[in-house]
Structure 1
Amino acid sequence: MLNTETPNVLHTELDTYATADLAAALIDDQLNAVQAVRAAAPQIAAAIDAALPRIEAGGRLVYVGAGTSGRLGVLDGVELLPTFSWPDERAISLIAGGKQAMFVAVEGAEDDTEQGAIDIRELHLNQHDVVLLIAASGATPYVLGALQAARASGALTVGFANNPDAPVTRCADIGITLNTGSEIISGSTRLKAGTSQKIALNTFSSGLMVKLHKVYGNLMVDVKPTNIKLLRRTVSLTMHATGKDEQTCRKVLEECDFHVKTAIVAIQNQVSVATAEKLLAHYQGDVRKALQAIG
């Protein structure tokens, strides 16, 4: 029996717990998710380093999963645009059963190995693409079909599973095992197995974006202001990075379509927005190098 399916021996009378004890037990068990991801940190780092040159060469991130794992992949992918201005067409999510499976369980979809392969082949992957294959069991047929097709295309494959020695981690170029063990509600991998996947995907994608110079210090300077909240954030980020007042920062931001990177370089180097844009282009979007070029 898979670790994730093994009945938990610590809470065999969970249904009798007082509400406060029930909530505490459910929360405390989530701590194991953090520990599982921490143990996999070297493999996650290796995946970031392997993905970086491919993404720099124009590759795409492709998330593949079924059920909770598939939904977590979709979530990680769609958040890259507002957070890092990552183009939607370079963050693609495949979930067994199609888009409708985000909201309603599609019976039998995860068991279709061939559909996983078909969905991948339709993307016409190449050696620059990076495919993230997520499965708590590590043996979901849809995901394994996608894995086989992705490997045949020459794309980098990274497998995430919550059971040791799982097919998806064993057969991928880089395997990341998040060994969360048995669930407090036996077999419900939407609990700490899902939490560990969320942390691992956040770590991978955020780490990759840092390496792509979409962060300056620890500021998300490539934010896409798609709403009023994020528009305000561009101002506060620019103020924090430059030490200048709101009026100064807002004026420059308005000149560069609220692109924080450009505003920082223009203000700090005391150059025009056009010059700041050229500096950033020359240094592949690296704010620190663009500042050092003149400073």
Structure 2
Amino acid sequence: MIEDLEQVLKSLETEKINPATTNIDKMSPLEIVQVMNSEDAKVILAIQKELPKIAHAIEEIAARLRKGGRLIYMGAGTSGRLGVLDASECPPTFSTPEGMVIGWVAGGPEALVKSIEEIEDSAEAGRADAQKLGVSNMDALVGIAASGRTPYVLGAVAYAKEKGALTIGLACNPKTPLERIVDIMIAPVVGPEVIVGSTRLKAGTAEKMVLNMLSTGSMILLGKTYGNLMVDLQPRSSKLRRRAVSILQAATGVSEQEAENLLKRSNYNLKVAIIMAKTGLDFDDARRRLQAANGVVRNVLEELGFE
């Protein structure tokens, strides 16, 4: 069994020896960062090849979120932590309700700051955690595993499949066990790491970039932006209130004082404030029209002839 595992690891792109860095311990600091930078440049090209699959995943995720489903990230180690990071940024950035986007790392919250690597070998733990999260046919579950073969992730995805959820795989190796069981497979093959097997490097960077696309793309489709403006943020701090003023000015051309007044009148609902500024509607009418348009500012403005 050990020999089989060793054979599998040797066949993985992420576990191979990188010929560009075999003498990295003899390099100067400048040479180290130059070779790392050169290797990181390959991440962009690897992701580029996967863009159609990423776009497909975004469409399917958004369709489920519109119906009240959830986007759930599950992974072990670095992969799991990156999922938690991406999920945690969605509420302040896009005002997502609690539980709409969930990140879960094998081992639970403790594994965010402490390595608990052994649990990644348990498919049963993955199934159990997916069950605890209540994965259903309304959800989209993204299994993240650089190798594409982590038992914990495979177990979680298998459970999600049984429940009828949309399953998406994210790995950095081709033709993996994960690819065989998911509905959509995203596999940017970034090649051997600068330090052999250290998948927190290029593989981790690729995973983070893909997760950025999945969450941001889905939120754009849900109307969480107006143009490229972050109009669904929650201005809960002085910094975010200042940002809301700047966004309202950029969207409508009103003065700073007018923006502050509109935000106060709209209870700091930036979307409503934009509609009020552009159309002259009062708060109640602007809010009602926004709700009827499923929260999409541009749809309201187009309907009223202001776009």
Q: Shorter-chain-normalised TM-score: which range?
A: over 0.9
Moved more, 188-197 or 15-24: 15-24
Q: Which residue of 2 aligns with 1:9?
A: 19
Q: Which residue of 1 aligns with 2:251?
A: 241
Matched, 1:168 2:188: no
Contact between 2:61 and 2:71, CA under 8 Å: does it hold in 1?
no
**Secondary structure class of the residue paired with 1:10:** helix
Question: Following TM superposition, by how much is the alpha carbon of 1:21 offset from its aligned partner in structure 2, in angstroms?
Answer: 1.1
Q: Which residue of 2 aligns with 1:30?
A: 40
Q: Which residue of 1 aligns with 2:144?
A: 134
**Secondary structure class of the residue paired with 2:144:** strand
**Quick one: distance in 2 between partners of 1:141 and 1:59?**
25
Percent of matched pairs sharing the same residue: 42
Q: Which residue of 2 aligns with 1:230?
A: 240
Matched, 1:201 2:201: no
Matched, 1:267 2:256: no
**Quick one: distance in 1 between partners of 2:29 and 2:59?**
45
Matched, 1:276 2:292: no
Deviations 1:116-140 (A, max 9, x none): 1011112222221110110000011
- Corresponding residue to 1:182 among 173, 178, 192: 192
Moved more, 105-114 or 223-232: 223-232
**Quick one: distance in 2 between partners of 1:107 and 1:136?**
14
TM-score normalised over the length of structure 2: 0.94
**Secondary structure class of the residue paired with 2:21:** coil
**Quick one: distance in 1 between partners of 2:117 and 2:196?**
21
**Secondary structure class of the residue paired with 2:245:** helix
- Residue 127 of structure 1 aligns with an amino acid whose one-letter code is N
- Residue 74 of structure 1 aligns with an amino acid whose one-letter code is V
Moved more, 283-292 or 68-77: 283-292
Deviations 1:125-164 (A, max 9, x none): 2221110110000011110010100101111010000000
**Quick one: distance in 2 between partners of 1:24 and 1:229?**
36
Contact between 1:138 and 1:166, CA under 8 Å: does it hold in 2?
yes
- Residue 93 of structure 1 aligns with an amino acid whose one-letter code is G
For these two proteins, the number of residue pairs brought into alignment is 295
**Secondary structure class of the residue paired with 2:36:** helix
**Quick one: distance in 1 between partners of 2:62 and 2:253?**
32
Matched, 1:81 2:81: no
- Residue 115 of structure 1 aligns with an amino acid whose one-letter code is A
Matched, 1:115 2:125: yes
Matched, 1:156 2:178: no
Question: Following TM superposition, by how much is the alpha carbon of 1:243 offset from its aligned partner in structure 2, in angstroms?
Answer: 0.2
Where does the alignment leave 5 or more consecutive residues of structure 2 unmatched?
1-9
**Quick one: distance in 2 between partners of 1:17 and 1:144?**
39
**Secondary structure class of the residue paired with 1:151:** helix
